[in-house]
Amino acid sequence: MVRFLLTRIATAIPTLFLVSVTVFALMRAIPGDPAALMLGDLAQPGQLEALRAEMGLDQPIIVQYLYWLGDVLSGDFGRSIATRQPVLPLMLDRFSVSATIVLVAVFFATLIAVPAGMFAAWRQNRAGDIAVIATSTLLLSIPSFWLGLMLLLIFGLQLGWLPVVGYVPFSRDFGSALLYIILPVVTLVLVESGSITRMARASTIEVARLEYITHARAKGLSEATVMWRHAFKNAFAPTLTLIGLVLGSLLANIAVIETVFTIPGLGRLLVDGIYARDYPVVQGCMLFTAFLYVVVNLLVDLLYPLLDPRVTA
């Protein structure tokens, strides 16, 4: 088991290395001199040279990369050009907002979509199945940002039940935090349950064909026991992979939801950084989000043998 864990973790290291190279290369491909950008228009000629030397921009590109990587590994992501704040605490602060919304949304989406998909598989090709499939295909086709705007229009503006924009941390006021988080979470739950339902249905159908399920039924076990005790365990593993992918990609796609509801999350930090050409922020957010994506997928991999006994540790 320990050996399995260590091998899997070790395979993530080259991926993370390549991710860091890609992010670094992308940032260096942005037109314009970062030092000139930092100084603004009022720079004296000597000042520019000094800052370039200080930032290491006069070094060969590989040396620059190694310096940067060293800084990142020691937790130094540089400072924002716009606000002069260090990037890492800024990102962590914003990340706590995004993570709350994403985790709550994925939790509820799983809670609704997995049973829905299994139910559809159980009623395959009958009315219940067709209703679930139709709903999930419809949900899959609605862009999250538009659904968010529609919910905001109906429940926020027309009915006035929920606050329209903004975010309150749970640590400050639990009640109003809950109110502010409802619309973004419901939007994401609706949108993401479409794909999870379809996956849960497909993998349950796959498993339900296997002989051990027929055997379990032949033993006279009730349908509920067959589905939950026998089908669920094997059907859930592929769905878990998808949930991992959803969780990871939501961290990148969250920017649109944060834009709809004006939430100060990590996605918004990245997009605002792109507008402002605040390249340390953009670089930090991209690296941080990609890192999370790799780690989430790694965790799913590590959970796999626990759920699917056929994958041996």
Partner 1 sequence: MIARAFGLPALRFNGLIGVLVVGLLLLVAVFGPWLAPYDPLKLDLMARFQGPSAAHLLGADEFGRDLLSRLIHGARTSAWIAFATVVFAIVFGTVLGVLAGFLRGWTDRILMMVNDALLAFPGLLLALGFMAVFGASRNGIIVALGIAYMPVAVRVVRGTVLSIREREFVEASRVIGNSGVVTMLRHVLPNCLAPIMVLATTMFGWVVLSESALSFLGLGVPPPAPSWGNMLSTGRPYINQAPYIIILPGLCISITLLGVNLLGDAVRDWLDPKMQD
Whole-Å CA distances, 184 to 19, 64, 126, 150, 161: 30, 40, 33, 11, 14
Closest CA to 29 of 61, 68, 72, 66: 61
Q: Which stretch binds partner 1 (CB under 8 A): 34-42, 177-185, 211-219, 251-259?
A: 251-259
Contact 88, 77 (CB under 8 A): yes
202 is an interface residue for partner 1 by CB under 8 A: yes
Q: Mask 133-152, x = binds partner 1 (CB under 8 A)?
A: ----xx-xxxx-xxx-xx-x
298 is an interface residue for partner 1 by CB under 8 A: no
Per-residue DSSP letter, 231: I
Q: How far is the CB of 272 from partner 1 (least distance, A)?
A: 10
Cα–Cα distance for residue pair 159/238, rounded to 1 Å: 40
Which of 6, 82, 153, 179 lies at the binding interface for partner 1 (CB under 8 A)? 153
- DSSP code per residue over 152-205: IIIIIIIS--S--S----TTT-HHHHHHHHHHHHHHHHHHHHHHHHHHHHHHHH
Instruction: Give SS3 for 277.
Output: coil
Q: Mask 94-133, x = binds partner 1 (CB under 8 A)?
A: ------------------------------x---------
* Choice between 18 and 92, CB closer to partner 1: 18
Q: Which two tokens stand for residue 112?
A: 């609704």
Residues that bind partner 1 (CB under 8 A): 14-16, 18-19, 21-23, 26-27, 29-31, 124, 137-138, 140-143, 145-147, 149-150, 152-153, 157, 202, 205, 248-249, 251-253, 255-256, 259-260, 270-271, 274-275, 279, 282, 286, 289-290, 293-294
